[in-house]
Amino acid sequence: MTFRIIRYSLREAMRSLIQNRLMTIAAVITVAACLFMVAISFSLAANLDYILQQMESYMSVTVYIQEDRSAEAVSALLTKVEAIPHVTSIEYISAQEALERFQSSLGDSSAILDGLEEDNPLPRSFILDVDNLVNQEYVVGRLNDMTEDGVDVVKHGGPTVNAFMTINNVLRVICLIIIASLGVISIVIIFNTIRIAVNARKTEINIMKYVGATDSFIRAPFLMEGMLIGITGAIIPCAVCYTIYKPLMDLLQENLPVINFDFRARSYIFSILLPLSLILGIIIGVAGSATSIRRHLNV
């Protein structure tokens, strides 16, 4: 396609969009709504995945050792635990060290534990790090099979992680359904917008055919029209999300103290979201235009 054809197509597309401004606005709003859901879904998924990555460093497995086990038995248990696949590191916590950590966590109230040094009720334990949260359930299962070797209780954050991953998956499915629905609606509205433009220019199109205009030359302005609708519909939600993303993340960080994790930087989100939205917007716009032309333009 030459520059002259591109310039002609752009001029004709702009003229048609202005003439059918109400349908154009409706099409742009619908595409923008669809891609706004894409932006929300991507931002949620990116941040949830990022939080899950950070959770890997917090979700250690704690193995409490049976009280009656000798030092030799504990050493043998340590060797077996180290041999479990996916265990990346292991730390032994003595009963005395466990008490000191407990006292430290109480701060000014640590005095209530005075006198327990001689009769320490806290058990010895191992703290394990697993290479991936996905493998934590396997490691916990292996540890639970070691009761005869001295394992008493195994504590881990598996239920929390599983709940978090379930929420993540459910949100993704819901967002995908909404995006697909809005995408279909966008294509239908663009289809109707282009159909109006085709019907308004049928006489002009017939004259162009009689003088030898090619099919691609006739189609080009309508495809350009759909592309412009898609691009405009992509830029609007990206601009809105870019503006509100950082203030919203800061607000969540400040007002939800239970959230002790960092969120993805705005630059990271939009380095992916902007090109993704533009590509999807162009696909939706061109798909709507191409469908309308094929069904309503006899070329």
Tens of pLDDT along 225-277?
Answer: 889 988 999 999 999 999 999 999 888 877 765 556 788 899 999 999 999 89
DSSP E strand stretches across the chain: 61-65, 87-93, 125-130, 151-155
Q: How far apart are CA 100 and CA 117, in angstroms?
A: 9
SS3 212: coil
Residue 68 is encoded by which pair of tokens?
């009656």
Whole-prediction pTM:
0.68
Average pLDDT estimate for 58-83: 86
Domain boundary residue, one of 129, 156, 183 = 156
Q: How far apart are CA 299 and CA 12, in angstroms?
A: 18
Could you tell me if 155 and 64 are in contact, meaning their C-beta atoms sit under 8 angstroms apart? yes
> 122 and 203 share a domain?
no
Q: What amino acid is encoded at 56 in this protein? A: E
Domain boundary residue, one of 135, 156, 177 = 156
Average pLDDT, the chain: 80
Write b or e for each residue in 165-188: b if 16 or more Cβ atoms lie within 10 A of its Cβ, otherwise e: beebeeeeeebeebbeebbeebbe
Q: CATH number, domain at 127?
A: 3.30.70.3040
> 17 and 89 share a domain?
no
* Residue 123 DSSP class: P
> 215 and 273 share a domain?
yes
Each residue's pLDDT tens digit, 99-110 = 777 667 666 555
> 174 and 44 share a domain?
yes
Domain boundary residue, one of 140, 156, 172 = 156
